[in-house]
């Protein structure tokens, strides 16, 4: 009797687990179906992507004949902006994250609140507000204004990431470093920066992807200048996206996934090496002790 | 005086790192966030110039225009769609977040990475993919016809339904992540205690799990409702200019229509809604706990 009850319970648990797995697969497929469709249509033998017309790999070939200048120019423009935005945002954001965590000053609470504004307020509102200011004071729209726009939403993410990474340990370490005779600059480069390196890396990654993928700011603040890749895609939508854009996007995704796997591999390798070194050091210490 | 001098000097010296670290970010935020935000509020109370642009005579005309039947309808419709999107994201996302949070940490972190990878594909290309799937002669229609559910192809593209699908798939991860991190923080011992004290799984869920993960749920609401209310790219890509919500109306005021004060007034409306939600949030959670990443 007892046995059948526990069997029943086990069966029920197994059923719930299977249900959970099925549900997770369904949700993941919602995210992966569009990516798969996007990739499949990079092999579409049609001039514009509306319907499937047949299989071809010619878009990948044409991509590397650099025939489509608009596409490559937009990509280059997007990359330059994303790299500059990443550098500026990481420098300002990392310093700001440290500063806002460490110091108290008049108006700090206000700045803390302002940090959250670009993260929470709809992007269109911030974009329009900046557009009005730039137009009113007569700033020429172009790469500079797009860059300012991107940094304005990347910096807050960097600040939040860094603030989350700083703990009490950092303060202690910094004090120890100064006590041992290092000056502020040395302490900053040798102690503070290495201790928040993971935060710096993830805010750089985040800034780059946010900037590279941005449409709203870039569209509003571009003026008559060259358009970024996402803005080009937006403008193509009505007339149909050309499959070479699918090919390029597919390559970017593959590139990012491979990059992630390689960097994960490196991290694992380094951790293993560190663990080995620590183990060796410990055994050396215990060997030395036993000799004493 | 002489005794004070070294102390003063020391204080000045100590300010340098503070200025160097907190200075740039403060200046940036004031220049490019505070001032533009204040200026857009100011512009929303100005008159529309004859050839577009702004005439600096104060008026509440733009806000009166928002109360017009046409604009008011768009506002209500946008709120409704954002609400449905948020509801769907919570209902779909919570069980999913729960599923991930209950896995061992190393599996969970892999599952989260798996969730992020699709977002390395340009968001517009993903939206475009939905359109390719739902084209009049596209795969979905072909399938429906093949199994005999419909005889003539159904028009999906440029309909509010497809826009809604795009909104939900676009914002679902932003609902999943904060809920995941609050469920993950939930202590298992509390659930066990609840069960030991005789609560059924349902009661435990309603009385323990749900209230304790509420900050995560509220973060999810903020991170889906506000962007869904302000988006124009999803509606542009999947609505083809036929489905217009607040975001599109704002954008149009700065493009062809050139009615800046009206666009500013609509932006202020979005700001007010955002501020209200954040105010509600801070009533029971700290703003620093808002899981934005």
d(CA B54, CA B234): 29
Q: How many domains is chain A built from?
A: 2
Domain tally, chain B? 1
Give how far B1 is from chain A: nearest CA, Å. 26
Same domain? For A141 and A221 the reply is yes
pLDDT in the model for residue A211: 92
Q: Does residue A111 share a domain with residue A183? A: yes
What does each of the 293 residues of chain B score in pLDDT, given as a tens digit?
444 444 444 445 567 777 777 788 888 988 998 999 999 999 888 888 777 677 787 888 888 888 888 888 889 989 999 999 999 999 999 999 999 988 888 888 889 888 888 888 888 999 999 988 888 888 888 888 888 777 778 888 788 888 999 999 999 998 998 899 888 887 777 777 877 887 777 887 788 788 888 888 888 898 899 999 988 889 888 887 777 888 888 988 887 778 888 889 999 999 999 888 888 888 877 666 665 55
* In-domain check, residue B63: no
Residue B155 gets the label, from left (phi > 0), alpha (psi -120 to 50) or beta, of beta
User: Which of B126, B169, B233 comes nearest A38 by C-beta?
Assistant: B126
Q: Quick one: tokens of B12? A: 């000045």
Q: Does one domain contain both A249 and A137?
A: no
- Residues with Cβ within 8 Å of residue A286, at least 6 apart in sequence: none
- C-alpha dihedral sign at B71, B77, B79, B81: negative
Domain identity same for A98 and A16: no
Residues A20 and A48 reside in one and the same domain: yes
Domain carrying residue B104: 69-289
B-chain residues near A256 (CB < 8 A): 120
Cα dihedral: A145, A146, A147, A150 (round 10): 130
CA atoms within 13 A on the CB side of A101: 21
Which of A217, A241, A265 is where one domain is finished? A241
> Is residue B256 less than 8 Å (CB to CB) from chain A?
no
- Show Cβ contacts of residue B3 under 8 Å, excluding neighbours closer than 6 positions: none
Q: CB-based contacts of A48: which residues, under 8 Å, 6+ apart? A: A239, A240, A241, A242, A243
What is the Cα–Cα distance from A11 to A4, expressed in whole angstroms? Answer: 10
Q: Please tell me the distance in Å from B215's CA to the nearest CA on chain A.
A: 16
Contact A185, B21 (CB under 8 A): no
- Structural domain includes residue B34: no
- For residue B80, tell me if it sits in a domain: yes
How many Å apart are CA B132 and CA B3, to the nearest integer?
Answer: 78
Q: What is the pLDDT of residue A9?
A: 75
Q: Residue A257's closest chain B neighbor by CA?
A: B117
Q: Which of A115, A128, A133 sits opposite B254 (nearest CB)?
A: A128
Q: Which of A207, A223, A241 is a domain's end point?
A: A241
Q: What is the mean pLDDT of each run of 10 residues along chain A (292 residues)?
A: 70 81 91 92 85 83 78 90 94 86 79 86 92 88 91 90 74 77 78 80 88 90 84 85 89 89 84 84 83 72
pLDDT per residue as tens digits for the range B158-178:
888 889 999 999 999 989 988
Which residue of chain B has the CA closest to A245? Answer: B125
Last residue of a domain, one of A241, A261, A279: A241
Please tell me the distance from the alpha carbon of residue B86 to that of residue A27, in angstroms, as a whole number: 16
Chain B residues close to A230, C-beta within 8 Å:
122-124
Point out the residue among A37, A103, A164 whose CB comes nearest to the CB of B22.
A103
Strand partners, A55: A44
pLDDT digits (tens, 9 = 90+) for A128-168: 999 989 988 888 888 889 999 999 999 999 888 888 777 66
Assess if residue B36 is contained within a domain: no
The closest CB to that of A133, out of B25, B39, B278, belongs to B39
ipTM > 0.90 (yes/no): no
Domain span including residue A107? 69-241
What φ, ψ does residue A44 adopt, rounded to 5°?
-80, 130
Residue B118 domain-assigned (yes or no):
yes
A99 contacts in chain B (CB < 8 Å): 17-18, 20-23, 25
- How close does chain B come to A283, measured CA to CA in Å? 29
Best residue in A26, A42, A94, A122 to probe B by mutation, most B CBs within 10 Å? A122
Under 8 Å between Cβ of A106 and B229: no
Q: For residue A210, give how far its alpha carbon lies from the nearest alpha carbon of chain B (Å).
A: 10
Do A96 and A214 share a domain, yes or no? yes
A-B contacts at Cβ under 8 angstroms? 239
Task: Find residues 102-161 of chain A whose CB sits inside 8 Å of chain B.
Answer: 102-103, 105, 107-108, 111, 113-126, 128-133, 136, 148, 151-152, 155, 157, 159-161
We report the CATH number of the domain holding residue A95 as 1.10.3720.10
Q: Does residue B115 sit at the A interface (CB-CB below 8 Å)?
A: yes
Alpha-carbon gap, residue B238 to B252, rounded angstroms: 17
Question: Strand, coil or helix: what is A38?
Answer: helix
Q: Verify that A139 and A222 share a domain, yes or no.
A: yes
B127 touching A, CB under 8 A? Answer: yes
* Interface contact flag, A35 B30, Cβ < 8 Å: no
Same domain, residue pair A77 and A33:
no
- Based on the fold, state whether residues A34 and A126 are members of the same structural domain: no
**Residue A55: DSSP 8-state:** B
The CATH number for B151's domain is: 1.10.3720.10
B183 vs B186: CA distance, rounded Å: 5
Give A208's contacts (C-beta < 8 A, 6+ positions apart). Answer: A82, A83, A85, A86
Interface test with B, best of A50, A124, A174 (most B CBs within 10 A): A124
What pLDDT was estimated at residue A3? Answer: 66
A38 touches chain B (CB under 8 A): yes
Going by C-alpha positions, the residue among A63, A35, A46 that lies closest to residue A244 is A63
Q: Say whether both A137 and A76 belong to one domain.
A: yes
CB-nearest to A155 from B28, B128, B226 is B28
pLDDT at B93: 92
- What pLDDT score was predicted for residue B83? 93
Residues A222 and A88 in one domain: yes
Token output for B25:
């970010």
Residue B167 sits at the chain A interface (C-beta within 8 Å): no
At A170-198, the pLDDT tens digits run: 677 777 777 887 777 787 788 777 778 87
Q: Which residue, B170, B158, B156, is CA-closest to B82?
A: B170
């Amino acid at each position: 009797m007892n046995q059948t009850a526990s069997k029943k319970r086990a069966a029920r648990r197994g059923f719930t687990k299977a249900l959970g797995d099925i549900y997770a697969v369904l949700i993941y497929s919602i995210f992966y179906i569009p990516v798969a469709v996007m990739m499949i249509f990079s092999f579409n033998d049609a001039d514009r992507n509306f319907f499937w017309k047949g299989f071809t790999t010619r878009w990948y070939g044409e991509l590397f004949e650099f025939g489509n200048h608009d596409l490559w120019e937009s990509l280059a423009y997007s990359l330059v902006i994303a790299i500059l935005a990443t550098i500026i945002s990481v420098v300002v954001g990392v310093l700001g994250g440290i500063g806002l965590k460490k110091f108290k000053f008049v108006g700090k609470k206000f700045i803390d609140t302002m940090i959250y504004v670009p993260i929470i307020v709809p992007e269109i509102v911030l974009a329009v507000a900046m557009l009005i200011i730039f137009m009113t004071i007569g700033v020429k729209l172009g790469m500079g204004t797009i860059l300012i726009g991107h940094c304005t939403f990347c910096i807050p993410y960097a600040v939040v990431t860094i603030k989350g990474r700083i703990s009490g340990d950092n303060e202690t370490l910094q004090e120890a470093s100064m006590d041992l005779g290092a000056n502020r600059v040395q302490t900053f480069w040798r102690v503070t920066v290495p201790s928040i390196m993971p935060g710096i890396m993830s805010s750089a990654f985040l800034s780059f992807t946010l900037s590279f993928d941005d449409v709203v700011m870039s569209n509003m603040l571009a003026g008559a200048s060259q358009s970024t890749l996402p803005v080009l895609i937006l403008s193509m939508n009505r007339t149909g996206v050309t499959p070479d854009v699918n090919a390029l996007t597919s390559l970017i995704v593959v590139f990012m996934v491979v990059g992630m796997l390689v960097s994960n591999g490196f991290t694992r390798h380094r951790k293993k090496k560190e663990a080995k070194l620590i183990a060796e050091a410990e055994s050396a210490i215990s060997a030395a002790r036993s000799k004493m | 005086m002489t005794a004070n001098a070294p102390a003063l000097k020391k204080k000045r010296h100590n300010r340098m790192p503070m200025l160097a670290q907190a200075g740039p970010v403060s200046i940036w935020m004031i220049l490019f966030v505070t001032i533009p935000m204040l200026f857009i509020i100011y512009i929303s109370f100005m008159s529309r110039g004859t050839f577009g642009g702004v005439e600096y005579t104060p008026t509440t005309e733009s806000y009166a225009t928002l109360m017009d039947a046409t604009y008011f309808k768009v506002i209500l419709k946008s709120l409704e769609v954002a609400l449905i999107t948020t509801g769907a994201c919570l209902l779909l996302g919570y069980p999913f977040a729960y599923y991930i949070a209950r896995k061992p940490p190393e599996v969970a972190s892999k599952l989260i990475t798996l969730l992020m990878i699709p977002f390395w594909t340009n968001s517009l290309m993903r939206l475009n993919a939905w359109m390719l799937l739902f084209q009049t002669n596209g795969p979905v229609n072909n399938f429906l016809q093949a199994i005999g559910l419909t005889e003539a192809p159904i028009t999906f593209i440029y309909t509010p339904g497809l826009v809604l699908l795009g909104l939900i798939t676009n914002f679902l991860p932003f609902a999943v992540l904060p809920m995941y991190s609050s469920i993950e923080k939930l202590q298992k011992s509390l659930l066990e205690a609840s069960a030991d004290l005789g609560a059924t799984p349902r009661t435990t869920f309603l009385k323990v799990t749900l209230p304790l993960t509420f900050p995560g749920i509220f973060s999810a609401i903020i991170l889906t409702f506000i962007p869904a209310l302000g988006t124009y790219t999803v509606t542009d890509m999947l609505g083809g200019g036929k489905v217009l919500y607040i975001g599109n109306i704002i954008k149009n005021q700065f493009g062809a229509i050139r009615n800046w004060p009206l666009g500013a007034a609509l932006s202020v409306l979005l700001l007010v809604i955002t501020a209200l939600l954040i105010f509600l949030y801070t009533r029971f959670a700290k703003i620093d706990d808002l899981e934005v990443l």
